[in-house]
A and B are shown apart, each in its own frame.
Chain A
Amino acid sequence: MKKKKLAVWKFASCDGCQLSILDCEDELLTLAAQIEIAYFPEATKTVIEGPYDISLVEGSITTAHDAIRILEVRKNSKLLISIGACATSGGIQALRNYVKVSEYINAVYARPEYIDTLETSTAIADHVKVDYELRGCPINKYQLLEVLSSFLHGKKPSIPDHSVCLECKLNGNPCVAVSRNLPCLGPVTQAGCGALCPHYHRGCFGCYGPKENPNTEALALYLTQNVVDNHTMLRLFRNFNAASPSFSKESKNYEKQ
């Protein structure tokens, strides 16, 4: 069987999600034997022409140039998978969506004319059709392997869209919201990290974005009545998935203190 061609693309990001591929220390060589790494500049100089069977896209769209580049990537890819919070919801850099970027640049840059940037940071799916979105800031490398393996073999990826809470309990943590009165976004955040923060005695701050059917309103109401002030609530929703629709909407309710 001919090996499938894999390409890894980068847009505005910290590189962490694509580093996850190289972090698959135990599986990297097996993966490389199963798939042809055709384009992955972080790891190789080799560039094999498209079209590509699978494109992994990291990062968000923040420049006019990138908005065009992603169209090219789409055209060259049979299957496009966006990876990480940047690519699936605009990432931390989408915090700019809540301020006026142009004024902001003028205020900070000596030579604003050198800067090519859009007013907003947006997800890949806002620009082109995306076949699968893998969440996380950063993504979980085991989930990435699961997604790659599933697409190679025609399986539906086992990537549940339920809450962090469920994973929290599977992993044997006591709830930190209940036992420590910490603000925790676990009940409205999608699982995937292994419920790390509760295990480390802190509240979830939403790396994997909203879960299926998130009741952000009820959680925020309860937390602001019992645990935190409005400003803290606002900041909790304005993290790495600030621009995901439900977090964005909820954060706006707490903009005015």
Chain B
Amino acid sequence: MAKQHAFRTDTQGLESLFALLSDQGYAQMGPVVRDGAIMLGEINSFDELAQGYTDEQAKGHYRIKPIPTRGLFQYAVGPQSFKQYLHPPRRKLWSTHGSQEKFTIEEGNEPEKMVFWGVRSCDLEAIKILDRIFLEGAFVNKWYQQAREQLVIIAASCPVPSANCFCTSTNTGPKPESDFDIAIHEIMDHDCCYYILETGSHKGEKLIQKLRIQKVSEEELDSLERMIEKAASSMEKRFEPAEAADLLKKTLEHKHWDEVGSRCLSCANCTMVCPTCFCTSTEDITEITGEHSERWLRWDSCFNGDFSYIHGGKIRDSTRSRYRQWMTHKLSYWYEQFGTSGCVGCGRCITWCPVGIDIIEELEALAR
């Protein structure tokens, strides 16, 4: 990190950043404690941000626990990702009025101007993947583009990865390196903490200038380095994305698919929590008079039967084939489609699988 882009501040500094962005009319999204988990929500005052919590994750297991310090980022990623704001679970595409003889079409709503607080580096990479899908291909997703152009990203480095994290393998963390406006590094100093703010864009610099902040010292930067090293070395889960991509091409008929297919519930949780899964379906909702109709977009999943339905039946009828589609898409075909892996190593699909299926273990089984 170049020292001229780094500054030291405390919680009050962050609060004034929050106030500044509020004044500029942004809707601010960030981690909050809700329903027994670190969720994402719109925060209307700074103290709504999750504070003083950590989490515990394992296969099919998640708990939050209060900690004595007032740290804002002392937990790993929760069940939700910022995908839900850039690519909402449900969105009205347009509505139409009239009859089959004559009708008119009205566009749906436009996105808000948003700030994302505490985007972990895996999720930051996930946003970059969504950019490739929705902005950099043959077609452009206009709504996403608008949301994205107005977005302010406040990233946060990850001090305590969970047992399911493997961003060191996917090369997506634990420290955000670029593509943010501001990055926050929360450094615990005994029971207190201070923050190193790093700017990553012109927009970020302009915001920082308006805050009361101090220069950062060499020792403070060293503490940051040590924190990142410690976080990185705490991750035990490992895999080789490029090898996985090759392996999956050769194992389409492997008998292990039957085995994992017998355990998988085809419930779709993994695809819902994944920050890069982008599949959607459309639904037409026609009012009882038949004169108005709305077309909605909603998240869909390759684990659903309807997903592959064509007249005459479902292409992927068995759970085995659905799990295979998910994993081969995510870890292999994604490269052909978008030039990267579809996995950013956040571990959500492992934590939130209700029967504790672990994508990396399944990969290892295929390799055997």
Point out the residue from A166, A175, A199 that lies within 8 Å of B352, measured CB to CB.
Answer: A175
A27 to B285, CA, bound (A): 15
Q: A30-B288, A30-B289, A213-B319 are in contact. Are A162 and B354 (CB under 8 A)?
A: no
For B78, list chain A residues within 8 Å (CB).
174
Q: A162-B305, A172-B80, A213-B305 are in contact. Are A149 and B287 (CB under 8 A)?
A: yes
Find out whether the CB atom of B319 lies under 8 angstroms from the CB atom of A215: yes
User: Nearest Cβ distance between residue B303 and chain A, in whole angstroms?
Assistant: 8
User: Nearest Cβ distance between residue A171 and chain B, in whole angstroms?
Assistant: 8
Residues of chain A in range 116-166 having any CB-CB distance to chain B below 8 Å: 145-146, 148-150, 152-153, 155, 158, 160-163, 165-166
For A215, list chain B residues within 8 Å (CB).
262-266, 319
Find out whether the CB atom of A34 lies under 8 angstroms from the CB atom of B305: no
A146 to B293, CA, bound (A): 11
Find out whether the CB atom of B266 lies under 8 angstroms from the CB atom of A213: yes
Most buried by B among A158, A174, A212: A174
Residues of chain A in range 213-245 having any CB-CB distance to chain B below 8 Å: 213-215, 217-219, 222
Point out the residue from B269, B290, B304, B354 that lies within 8 Å of A153, measured CB to CB.
Answer: B290
Residues of chain B in range 307-328 having any CB-CB distance to chain A below 8 Å: 317, 319
**Residue B243 at the chain A interface, CB threshold 8 Å:** no
Most buried by B among A153, A155, A162: A162
**Residue B170 at the chain A interface, CB threshold 8 Å:** no
Q: Mark A48-72, 1 if CB is under 8 A from B, else 0.
A: 0000000000000000000000000
Categorize the interface residue count of chain B: 35 or more
Residues of chain B in range 252-301 having any CB-CB distance to chain A below 8 Å: 262-269, 272-273, 283-290, 298-299, 301
Find out whether the CB atom of A165 lies under 8 angstroms from the CB atom of B319: no
For A209, list chain B residues within 8 Å (CB).
none
Find out whether the CB atom of B39 lies under 8 angstroms from the CB atom of A150: no
**Residue B306 at the chain A interface, CB threshold 8 Å:** yes
User: Nearest Cβ distance between residue A218 and chain B, in whole angstroms?
Assistant: 5
Find out whether the CB atom of A163 lies under 8 angstroms from the CB atom of B268: yes
Point out the residue from A166, A178, A201, A212 that lies within 8 Å of B272, measured CB to CB.
Answer: A166
**Residue B60 at the chain A interface, CB threshold 8 Å:** yes
Find out whether the CB atom of A169 lies under 8 angstroms from the CB atom of B272: yes
User: Nearest Cβ distance between residue B193 and chain A, in whole angstroms?
Assistant: 26
Interface of B is mostly: loop
Q: Mark B59-100, 1 if CB is under 8 A from A, else 0.
A: 011110000000000000011100010000110000000000
**Residue B351 at the chain A interface, CB threshold 8 Å:** yes
User: Nearest Cβ distance between residue B204 and chain A, in whole angstroms?
Assistant: 29
Find out whether the CB atom of A222 lies under 8 angstroms from the CB atom of B39: no
Q: Which A-chain residue is minimally distant from B59 (CB atoms)? A: A178
Q: Which B-chain residue is minimally distant from A33 (CB atoms)? A: B289
**Residue B36 at the chain A interface, CB threshold 8 Å:** yes
Find out whether the CB atom of A31 lies under 8 angstroms from the CB atom of B264: no
For A201, list chain B residues within 8 Å (CB).
35-36
Find out whether the CB atom of A174 lies under 8 angstroms from the CB atom of B305: no
**Residue A3 at the chain B interface, CB threshold 8 Å:** no
Find out whether the CB atom of A161 lies under 8 angstroms from the CB atom of B285: no
Point out the residue from B90, B285, B286, B287 that lies within 8 Å of A170, measured CB to CB.
Answer: B90
What would 17 more interface pairs be, CB under 8 Å, given A158-B283, A172-B89, A218-B264?
A162-B306, A165-B267, A166-B304, A169-B299, A172-B80, A173-B35, A174-B35, A174-B80, A178-B60, A179-B35, A179-B36, A186-B267, A187-B269, A214-B265, A215-B263, A215-B319, A222-B354
Q: List 15 A-B contacts (CB under 8 A).
A: A34-B288, A148-B288, A155-B286, A161-B305, A165-B269, A170-B299, A174-B39, A175-B79, A175-B352, A178-B60, A178-B354, A181-B61, A187-B354, A215-B266, A222-B356
Residues of A within 8 A of B (CB): 27, 30-31, 33-34, 145-146, 148-150, 152-153, 155, 158, 160-163, 165-166, 169-175, 177-181, 184, 186-188, 199, 201, 212-215, 217-219, 222
